[in-house]
Amino acid sequence: MESHNPDGETGDKCDINGDCSPISNKDTVSFNHTKNIDDISTPSELKFDEDFEFEDPDVTEKRNELERCLKNPDLINLEQWQNFAKSKAGLISDEYRRQIWPLLVGVTEDEMTDPPSLDDLSKHSEYHQVVMDVNRSLKRFPPGIPYEQRVALQDQLTVLILRVIMKYPHLKYYQGYHDVAITLLLVCGERASFPLLCRLSYGPGAPLAPFMQATLQPTQHLLNYVFPVIRRADDRLADCLDKAGVGTMFALPWYLTWFGHSLNRYADVVRLYDYFLCAPPLFPVYVTAALVLHRAPDVLQCDCDMAMMHCLLSRLPDDLPFEDILVTAKKLYEENDPTDLEAEVNALEKREEEQRKLDQERMKRRQAGRVAPRGGGWLGALPAALRRPAGRRAALALTAALFAIYVYYRPELFRNREDSPDL
């Protein structure tokens, strides 16, 4: 039961893409548009100016093959499309993607329906949050996109998101969902991206479904798989991450948005989506592990400090070799099936739970300690310096005397504040 509302505007909303691609430096392929189910918003013509110096011969060959296959798509089975999507360079160009992505998740043409108008949706309780996030998604649009076209696309994005969460009311919108939605929208257009996003959000094994539950608990649990995967590949690196207590937050936007939020290069984002659309739902976590492993030298050099580590990891460099990272991720997945990791993840979560309890107790004591003499909050500064291992000795030498005096007066407070593992 799709709500149809072919509002007269959609036509001209989308015919405005002529100007936004000043230089199309991808080969212009004579392309059979009869299968084009989504002429409304020909999004593939949006161009993210990519430097396109020379094409790898393998990729050129693949391109030719893809074109051959797309002339007779009915003769190609799912596995063949998947092979294209996973192997080197993925689906290469958005012109192919917009046809193949729906096939990868099994969306059919009759599921692609006209969206309702924005007005019909504005009463939804998440409307304001969605609009707020959509309005802040400027970075995700092709540079130089004309204002009207961008605004039109942003409206389509809002509609797309609200349509899905209205169709499945138990699914909760999360900040980051809009980053997935916009990627689909830019590639496939508004009609095709709706059933695509539905497929990703709802149903057994739907990769985004765990993110849309009432809390982020399920997401956090799945993200925790990254640690045993890393540990099995590089013990020293795992120790380093452990010691810094960096947690998984650095990778949260990666997982929630399939890296769409965190990568600057559009080409990298769509390449990863090619793969994720036909990979197991947990695969992005293995890509996360592969990425951290790839950056191991930086991580090992980094201050063993939660903030520094979080900062280092959460900012992704622009020149990541994603083809290699995907190969590594695939290997990691084959060698460490999620079911084999369950026990390790459970143990890790148990440890975290215990730590949380300790933190809570520590905090209670801290509160109790505060009541006695007023103004006890200052202590923060001192242990912060001491916690930094690089400066530990120096700081200790400098402050040992002061510290001794302090501890003499307020031993309980110090213990509450310091992050000592033996508490």
Partner 1 sequence: MSDPSEPVPGLKQRKVFKIIVLGDSGVGKTCLTFRFCEGQFLDKSEATIGVDFRERTIRISNEDIKLQLWDTAGQERFRKSMVQHYYRNVHAVVIVYDVTKPETFHSIASWMQEVESHGLLGSPRVLVGNKCDCGTPESRLATSYAQRLADKYGMPLFETSALLDSECDNVESIFMTLAHKLYSKQPLRVVSVEGERGPRLVTLPRQKRSNTSTDSCLCS
Residues in touch with partner 1 (CB under 8 A): 129, 132-133, 136-139, 172, 174-176, 178, 214-217, 220, 247-249, 252-253, 256-257, 261, 306-307, 310-312, 314, 356, 359, 363-364, 366-367, 370, 375-385, 387-388, 390-391, 394-395, 398, 402, 405-406, 419
The residue (of 265 and 388) whose beta carbon lies closer to partner 1 is 388
The residue (of 49 and 352) whose beta carbon lies closer to partner 1 is 352
Closest approach, Cβ 101 to partner 1, in A, equals: 23
The residue (of 36 and 129) whose beta carbon lies closer to partner 1 is 129
The residue (of 216 and 320) whose beta carbon lies closer to partner 1 is 216
Closest approach, Cβ 381 to partner 1, in A, equals: 5
Quote the crossing angle between the two packed helices 147-167 and 177-201, to the nearest 10°: 40
Closest approach, Cβ 68 to partner 1, in A, equals: 40
Closest approach, Cβ 157 to partner 1, in A, equals: 13
Token pair for 253: 């936007």
The residue (of 280 and 376) whose beta carbon lies closer to partner 1 is 376
Closest approach, Cβ 76 to partner 1, in A, equals: 36
Closest approach, Cβ 397 to partner 1, in A, equals: 10
Closest approach, Cβ 273 to partner 1, in A, equals: 17
Q: Are 112 and 195 in contact (CB under 8 A)?
A: yes
Instruction: Tell me the C-alpha distance between 164 and 237, whole Å.
Output: 40
The residue (of 13 and 366) whose beta carbon lies closer to partner 1 is 366
Q: Are 256 and 178 in contact (CB under 8 A)?
A: no
The residue (of 66 and 272) whose beta carbon lies closer to partner 1 is 272
The residue (of 90 and 284) whose beta carbon lies closer to partner 1 is 284
- Residue carrying the six token digits 């402050």: 399
Q: What are phi and psi of 237, to 5 degrees?
A: -65, -45
**Exposure b/e, 6-45, CB count within 10 A at least 16 = b:** eeeebeebbebbeebbeeeebeeeebeeeeebbebbbbbe
Name which of 336, 124, 72 is nearest 227 in CA terms: 336
Instruction: Tell me the C-alpha distance between 64 and 400, whole Å.
Output: 71
Token pair for 235: 């013990």
Closest approach, Cβ 329 to partner 1, in A, equals: 21
- Hey, how many other C-beta atoms are within 10 angstroms of the C-beta on 162? 23
Closest approach, Cβ 250 to partner 1, in A, equals: 8
Name, in order, each residue with C-beta under 8 angstroms of 316's C-beta and a sequence gap of 6 or more: 259, 262, 263, 264, 291
The residue (of 196 and 251) whose beta carbon lies closer to partner 1 is 251
Name which of 162, 88, 70, 152 is nearest 123 in CA terms: 162
Name which of 313, 293, 294 is nearest 303 in CA terms: 313
Q: Are 46 and 182 in contact (CB under 8 A)?
A: no
Q: Are 82 and 177 in contact (CB under 8 A)?
A: no
The residue (of 326 and 413) whose beta carbon lies closer to partner 1 is 413
Instruction: Tell me the C-alpha distance between 55 and 60, whole Å.
Output: 6
Closest approach, Cβ 61 to partner 1, in A, equals: 38
Instruction: Tell me the C-alpha distance between 202 and 208, whole Å.
Output: 8
Name, in order, each residue with C-beta under 8 angstroms of 321's C-beta and a sequence gap of 6 or more: 294
Instruction: Tell me the C-alpha distance between 257 and 337, whole Å.
Output: 23
The residue (of 49 and 419) whose beta carbon lies closer to partner 1 is 419
Closest approach, Cβ 218 to partner 1, in A, equals: 10
